[in-house]
Chain A
Amino acid sequence: MTFVSPAFVLFVAITWLVHGVLPSRFRWAGLLGASLIFYATAAEPQLLVVLAWVTTVTYLGGLRISACDPRVRGRIYVASLVGVFFALGLKYLPLVHDAVALLARALGRSVSIPIPQLASTIGISYFTLQAIAYLTDVYLDMLPPERHFGRLALSLAFFPKILQGPIERGGDLLPQLETTYHFDYEKTRSGLVLFTWGLFKKTVAADQLGVTVDVVYGNVHAYSGATLLIATYAYAFQIYLDFAAYTDMARGIARLFGIELTRNFDRPYAATSVAEFWRRWHLSFSRWLLDYLFRPLQIRWRGWRQHGTAAAILATFLLSGLWHGATWGFLVWGALHGCYQVSALYTRGYFNRLQRRIGLAGTQGLAVLQVLVTFHLVAFAWIFFRAANLRDALHVVGNLPTGPVELVHRMLTANAHSSLGLVPGLNRQDAVIGSVAVVLALWERHLRRWWASTHSLPLRWMGYGALFLSIFVLGRFGGRKFIYFDF
């Protein structure tokens, strides 16, 4: 079942009631049971075996690492990592299958290898990374190992976050699982509101954009530069709102149980540099990359000074691309982000001096320019992320330059009907609704501040009611899954 379904609403309601009724020492068991049921319905039942395997390796590994003396520790740590990587590698089985088949053909034999194919590996990418973080933190003595198997299992399998993260750190989540739950009106209310807000972002904003994006990127050769341009901008917002929506929904549900999950976003498109973008986008994943991939590499290669850092950046982002999927598109996307930051690294001093020389340093104008440039760099990279394959991506890139010219031309010879051809798949009402919803979603911070200062009950209920109704009346449904499920 997915978050956006009546089955899920019923599931959460029942789980919450059962959770409240259970004596506190069994609550972890209730949540764990519910999480396993959820995962079994959202993914293939075989994946439960993978989850059990990773949980067991992580639990035993954590205990042995902290119990053994320093010489053996390292070996146990590595062995545990291998065990976890084995699970992560299941995602790449098709790649292995293709590679082996290619090799066999090259050797002149046709071998049919019984490599099991998993139709979906949803969730694996997330809980394996969490397991790796836990094992590493225990190895570095930054975290005591969790002795309660059930709680460790729950920290990996907790249903609001198992499918798409956030990737939690042991230090953040495990202590929360130990505290006793007490019904808190304020937390429960705010959790429900957060969930509803996320649902709004997904169904009224992200999925409306998604209609056009899917139509255009599903057949890039049929559309002109202007349409490709609009679809690319639309995708930049769709992927952000889709994933932010999911995170809000996950955090909202978790809050019902008294658990705070990590925030994943901090207004990413307000970043003034690509490096800053990565401090605002998919935070739980970026921080994981920073702490468990980038820093170790950077430290290992510190002898090469800046070049070592540059190499660490490239390696990290290439692997990040690969984590999203084993295709050329994702690799190019990762490489682009790596190159953006490496060139920023080498030209940092130069640009600082230039900005000071022409008097732009510290000005509002410079900040605006930086935000626009950063947004466009990121939106450009998203093309490779979204396009069905590299050829489509290159087609889009090749046709983009004609876009702005065509748009200006259309605006000058405007009439109401010609504009809509640019946004295929959406009628005028939906285009307007979607745009308004996107703007509202981007103004989150202001909305939140204004809302916190509104105290009149009728007004608050009207607001919640409007949100609730707009999801049902204006929202787009139709089995659209969340984008980050596929990673």
Chain B
Amino acid sequence: MNIAQRLTETFREVFNDPTLVVTPETTAKDVDGWDSFSHVNLIVAVELSFGIKFSQRELLTFRKVGDLLRSIQRNLDQA
């Protein structure tokens, strides 16, 4: 499974929606229930799922799913 697929799985678990589809352009506004409270749950779930840890700086700059994907890739490459 590639990164994008694993990420979609994680999203589906966190937001309890098996039909959810995310693209690099998806933002918080596009997903039902993605607010500043569930955002943190999502981040933790992603970190656990990929075995990485985002830096504070990165997390503050995420604006859409594409940013998340790039950051995951970067973290995996560094590991």
The interface size of chain B toward A, counting residues with CB under 8 Å, comes to 12
Given A140-B60, A141-B61, A142-B61, CB of A299 within 8 Å of CB of B37: no
Question: A401 at the A/B interface (Cβ < 8 Å)?
Answer: no
A66 adjacent to chain B (CB < 8 Å): no
B20 beta carbon closer than 8 Å to chain A: no
- Overall SS of chain B's interface: helix
Residue of B with least CB distance to A141: B61
- The complex places the Cα of A290 from the Cα of B36 at a distance, in Å, of 9
* B36, A299: Cβ atoms closer than 8 Å: no
Q: Mark B36-57, 1 if CB is under 8 A from A, else 0.
A: 1101110110000000000011
Q: Knowing A302-B43, A302-B44, A305-B44, say if A140 contacts B36 (CB, 8 Å).
A: no
Please state if A345 and B37 are interface contacts (CB–CB under 8 Å): yes
Q: Is B76 an interface residue (CB 8 A)?
A: no
Which among B36, B39, B40, B59 is the interface contact of A308 at CB below 8 angstroms?
B40
A296 contacts B60, C-beta separation under 8 Å: yes
Q: Is A298 positioned at the interface, with any CB of B under 8 Å from its CB? A: yes
Nearest Cβ distance between residue A372 and chain B, in whole angstroms? Answer: 23
Q: Give the total number of A-B pairs whose CB atoms are below 8 A apart.
A: 33
B40 to chain A, nearest CB (A): 5
Q: Does A309 contact B (CB under 8 A)?
A: yes
Q: Please, how many residues of chain A have a CB less than 8 angstroms from a CB on the other chain? A: 17
Chain A window 292-314, contacts with chain B (Cβ cutoff 8 Å), 1 for yes, 0 for no? 00111011101101001100000
Chain A hits for B61, CB < 8 A: 140-142
CB-nearest residue of chain A to B55? A299
Closest B residue to A310 using CB positions: B37
Shortest distance between the CB of B50 and any CB in chain A (Å) = 15
A453 vs B43: C-alpha distance when bound (angstroms): 47
Q: Is the CB of B36 within 8 A of A295?
A: yes
The smallest C-beta distance from B36 to any residue of chain A, in angstroms, reads: 7
Give chain B residues whose Cβ lies under 8 Å from the Cβ of A295: 36, 59-60
Question: When the two chains form their complex, are residues B40 and A309 in contact, meaning their CB atoms are under 8 A apart?
Answer: yes
Give Cα A361–Cα B51 distance, bound, in whole angstroms.
38
- CB nearest neighbor in B for A308: B40
Q: A141-B61, A142-B61 are in contact. Are A296 and B40 (CB under 8 A)?
A: no
B residues less than 8 Å from A303 (CB atoms): 44
Within 8 A of A (CB), among B51-72: 56-57, 59-61
The residue of chain B having its C-beta at the shortest distance from the C-beta of A303 within the complex is: B44
Over the window 270-304 of chain A, the binary record of Cβ atoms lying under 8 Å from chain B Cβ atoms (1 yes, 0 no) is 00000000000000000000110011101110110
User: Which of B36, B44, B57 lies in contact with A294, CB distance below 8 A?
Assistant: B36
List chain B residues, Cβ under 8 A from A291.
60
Cβ–Cβ < 8 Å partners of B39 in chain A: 298
A140-B61, A295-B60 known; A302-B40 Cβ under 8 A: yes
Alpha-carbon gap, A140 to B41, bound state (A) = 23
A141 to B62, CA, bound (A): 12
Q: Is the CB of A300 within 8 A of B56?
A: yes
Q: Are A298 and B57 in contact (CB under 8 A)?
A: no
Which chain A residues lie closer than 8 Å to B37 at the CB level? 309, 345
Q: Is the CB of A299 within 8 A of B60?
A: yes
CA distance A295 to B40 in the complex (A): 9
Please tell me if the beta carbons of A140 and B40 are within 8 angstroms of each other in the complex.
Answer: no
Complex Cα spacing A431 to B23, Å: 56
B54 — nearest CB in chain A belongs to which residue? A299
Interface string of A201-233 (1 = CB under 8 A from B): 000000000000000000000000000000000
17 sampled A-B residue pairs with Cβ under 8 A:
A140-B57, A140-B61, A141-B61, A142-B61, A291-B60, A294-B36, A295-B60, A298-B39, A299-B56, A299-B60, A300-B56, A302-B40, A302-B44, A305-B44, A308-B40, A309-B37, A309-B40
The 8 closest A-B pairs by CB, nearest first: A299-B59, A302-B40, A140-B61, A298-B40, A302-B44, A309-B37, A309-B40, A140-B60
Binding site for B on A (CB under 8 A): 140-142, 290-291, 294-296, 298-300, 302-303, 305, 308-309, 345
